[in-house]
């Protein structure tokens, strides 16, 4: 067996992917990149291939894969370039891969992440949408595949760090826990006058005060759907009901989340808001490695504030809790409607405040059912996308003629 861990980075060109490669670069004696994947950014993947010399480079878009093949032909002919969604699944399950960073955004990440679970990898989960969609079935796949699922999402990684020694997600409820206190920055519009929310532009929504992230999750943070998805994610990972996950707005984003124990103790994980910390933690767990992150200066932080979330201003939080409560495929329907609505907002065909309206109307129109197979989940995901797309078009039409 090789002494370095073989890694596939799904979503290598994104914000999490780039941070993951930065941490790997700092720890080259421990990790070797087996595969890098992206959607269609051949230029960036080409540069990453030169720097990390993976065995495989995959682009979901087959034309972009052809472009990458031509670029690599002279400079790195040993790298095998693959194209298409099936190739993403293939490189997640290779024998020579020990660890898969699941950092594709959205439902597109589900099948490759599942393959990593099925083949018993260490799965570093950034792609929360995959878990939100498929819930308990995903966790079953982790258990039956003998995979180790470690959360990369900063809050869930913080919670994991605060849970009893030896506990890993997917093994039931951790001992002695009363509540999880899930922190939220509140996004860029926490204090904006409510009547100004409808005029928000994509550029404003993507300018997060504390974190630099991809566009979709940035909009999710601005609507607080990100926190709604994270409540569901926490319930799945740690086998807790929704009423034991309390959202707390914490504008400084220094406390990444907390666990309140039955005996009155509260454990928190703190750090600068830099995703390289949870990435490094999940890569090396149970050891610790250099992440390139500055030490937290508590004197500079000075104070830590906590507030109740405002569900009037952020209806997406309520919608996510309702979907969690409804169970079955409701969270897949919620997620799909959100993906469609957020993309429409980014494309400037939907106003910011209508994102929640589209999700609520989709949940009302698409009835959920038992999520007893991945086929059922994917079918309801598709039904929700069709309904949400129709609602977006109807709203765009009304705007045009009003
Ligand atoms: P991003 O948009 O910056 O990157 C997404 C990556 O996925 C890119 O490499 C892109 O090429 C790839 N991708 C997109 N669509 C694809 C498709 N159809 N097929 C194959 N690949 C595809 O996003 P990000 O901010 O890095 O977020 C990635 C995931 O991590 C999301 O699920 C997000 O919720 C989660 N996450 C991100 C952060 C963060 O700080 N960025 C924090 C916590 C969780
Ligand atoms: Mg998070």
DSSP assignments along 196-207, one per residue: GGGG--HHHHH-
Residue 287 CA to residue 296 CA, distance in Å, equals 20
Tokens of 339: 């993906």
Q: What pLDDT sits at residue 194? A: 87
The answer on 157 and 143 residing in a single domain is no
Q: Whose CA is nearest to atom 19 of ligand 1?
A: 39
Which of 281, 309, 337 is at the close of a domain?
Answer: 309
- The average confidence (pLDDT) of the chain is 96
Mutate to test the pocket of ligand 1, among 15, 36, 335 (most ligand atoms within 8 A of CB): 15
Q: Quick check: is 358 in a domain?
A: no
CB within 6 Å of ligand 1 — which residues?
Answer: 11-17, 38-39, 41, 60, 88, 103-105, 108, 126-129, 153, 211, 213-214, 216-217, 275
Q: Which-ligand-closest: CA of 154?
A: 2
The answer on 171 and 59 residing in a single domain is no
Radius of gyration of the chain (CA): 21
Q: What pLDDT sits at residue 2? A: 62
The Å distance, Cα 198 to ligand 1 centre, comes to 26
| Mean pLDDT on 218-229 | 97
The Å distance, Cα 226 to ligand 1 centre, comes to 13
Q: How confident is the model over 373-398, as pLDDT tens digits?
A: 999 999 999 999 999 999 999 988 77
| Mean pLDDT on 310-331 | 96
Task: Work out the percent of the chain whose per-residue pLDDT is above 70.
Answer: 99
Per-residue pLDDT at 157 exceeds 90: yes
The answer on 162 and 106 residing in a single domain is no
Q: What pLDDT sits at residue 208? A: 84
| Alpha helices for 246-367 (secondary structure H) | 276-284, 298-301, 315-326, 330-346, 354-365
Per-residue pLDDT at 202 exceeds 90: yes
The answer on 168 and 121 residing in a single domain is no
The answer on 147 and 22 residing in a single domain is yes
Give me the number of domains the chain comprises.
2
Tokens of 158: 């913080």
The Å distance, Cα 267 to ligand 2 centre, comes to 18
Tokens of 41: 């950014």
The answer on 241 and 119 residing in a single domain is no
The answer on 247 and 101 residing in a single domain is no
| Mean pLDDT on 237-249 | 98
State the closest ligand 1 atom to the C-alpha of 212, by its place in the atom list counted from 1.
40
Q: How confident is the model over 268-289, as pLDDT tens digits?
A: 999 999 999 999 999 999 999 9
State the closest ligand 1 atom to the C-alpha of 128, by its place in the atom list counted from 1.
32
Q: How confident is the model at residue 1 (pLDDT cuts 50, 70, 90)?
A: very low
Q: How confident is the model at residue 400 (pLDDT cuts 50, 70, 90)?
A: low
State the closest ligand 1 atom to the C-alpha of 88, by its place in the atom list counted from 1.
20
Q: Quick check: is 330 in a domain?
A: no
Q: Quick check: is 374 in a domain?
A: no
Q: Find out whether 170 and 146 touch, Cβ atoms under 8 Å.
A: no
The Å distance, Cα 369 to ligand 1 centre, comes to 28
Beta strands in 39-168 (DSSP E): 56-59, 80-83, 99-102, 122-125, 148-151
Q: Quick check: is 177 in a domain?
A: yes
Length of the chain, in residues: 402
Per-residue pLDDT at 154 exceeds 70: yes
Per-residue pLDDT at 113 exceeds 90: yes
Mutate to test the pocket of ligand 1, among 103, 187, 233 (most ligand atoms within 8 A of CB): 103
The answer on 237 and 147 residing in a single domain is no
Q: Quick check: is 318 in a domain?
A: no
SS3 category, 191: coil
The Å distance, Cα 131 to ligand 1 centre, comes to 14
The answer on 299 and 181 residing in a single domain is yes
Residue 245 CA to residue 262 CA, distance in Å, equals 14
The answer on 251 and 130 residing in a single domain is no
Q: Whose CA is nearest to atom 31 of ligand 1?
A: 105
Q: Which-ligand-closest: CA of 278?
A: 1
The answer on 104 and 168 residing in a single domain is no
Q: Which-ligand-closest: CA of 213?
A: 1
Q: Quick check: is 58 in a domain?
A: yes
Q: How confident is the model at residue 167 (pLDDT cuts 50, 70, 90)?
A: very high
**Measuring CA to CA, which residue among 212, 182, 190, 219 is closest to residue 344?**
219
Per-residue pLDDT at 80 exceeds 80: yes
Q: Quick check: is 315 in a domain?
A: no
CA angle (274, 210, 347) in 5-degree steps: 110
Q: What pLDDT sits at residue 110? A: 98
Q: Whose CA is nearest to atom 20 of ligand 1?
A: 39
| Mean pLDDT on 339-356 | 97
Residue 9 CA to residue 26 CA, distance in Å, equals 16
Q: Which-ligand-closest: CA of 253?
A: 2
Q: What pLDDT sits at residue 373? A: 97
The answer on 299 and 160 residing in a single domain is yes
Which of 277, 309, 341 is at the close of a domain?
Answer: 309
| Mean pLDDT on 154-179 | 97
CATH of the domain at 84: 3.40.50.720
Question: Which structural domain, as residue segments, surrounds residue 113?
Answer: 5-151
Q: Quick check: is 316 in a domain?
A: no
Per-residue pLDDT at 40 exceeds 70: yes
């Amino acid at each position: 067996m090789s002494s370095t861990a073989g890694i596939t980075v799904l979503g290598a060109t994104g914000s999490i992917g780039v941070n993951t490669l930065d941490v790997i670069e700092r720890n080259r004696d421990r990790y070797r990149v087996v595969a890098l994947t992206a959607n269609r950014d051949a230029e960036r993947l080409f540069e990453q291939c030169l720097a990390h010399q993976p065995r495989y480079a995959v682009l979901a878009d087959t034309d972009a894969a052809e472009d990458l093949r031509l670029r690599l032909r002279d400079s790195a002919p040993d790298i095998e370039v693959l194209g298409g969604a099936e190739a993403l699944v293939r490189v997640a399950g290779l024998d020579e891969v020990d660890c898969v960073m699941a950092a594709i955004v959205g439902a597109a990440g589900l099948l490759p992440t599942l393959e990593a679970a099925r083949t018993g990898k260490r799965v570093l989960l950034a792609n929360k949408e995959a878990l939100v969609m498929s819930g308990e079935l995903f966790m079953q796949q982790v258990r039956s595949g003998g995979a180790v699922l470690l959360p990369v999402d900063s809050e869930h990684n913080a919670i994991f760090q605060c849970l009893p020694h030896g506990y890993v997600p997917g093994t039931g409820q951790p001992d002695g826990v009363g509540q999880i206190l899930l922190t939220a920055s509140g996004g860029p519009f926490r204090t904006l006058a409510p009547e100004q929310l409808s005029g928000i532009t994509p550029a404003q929504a993507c300018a997060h005060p504390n974190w630099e992230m991809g566009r979709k999750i940035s909009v999710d943070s601005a609507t607080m759907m990100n926190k709604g998805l994270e409540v569901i994610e926490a319930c799945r990972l740690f086998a807790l009901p929704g009423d034991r996950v309390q959202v707390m707005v914490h504008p400084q984003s220094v406390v990444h989340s907390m666990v309140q124990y039955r005996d009155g103790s509260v454990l928190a994980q703190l750090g600068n808001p830099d995703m390289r910390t949870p990435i490094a933690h999940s890569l090396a767990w149970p050891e610790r490695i250099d992440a390139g992150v500055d030490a937290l200066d508590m004197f500079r932080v000075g104070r830590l504030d906590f507030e109740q979330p405002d569900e009037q201003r952020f209806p997406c939080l309520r919608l996510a809790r309702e979907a969690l409560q409804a169970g079955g495929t409701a969270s897949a329907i919620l997620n799909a409607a959100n993906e469609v609505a957020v993309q429409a907002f980014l494309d400037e065909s939907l106003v910011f405040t209508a994102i929640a309206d589209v999700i609520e109307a989709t949940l009302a129109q698409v009835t959920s059912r038992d999520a007893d197979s991945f086929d059922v989940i994917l079918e309801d995901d598709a039904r929700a996308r069709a309904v949400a797309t129709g609602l977006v078009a109807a709203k765009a039409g009304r705007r045009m003629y009003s």
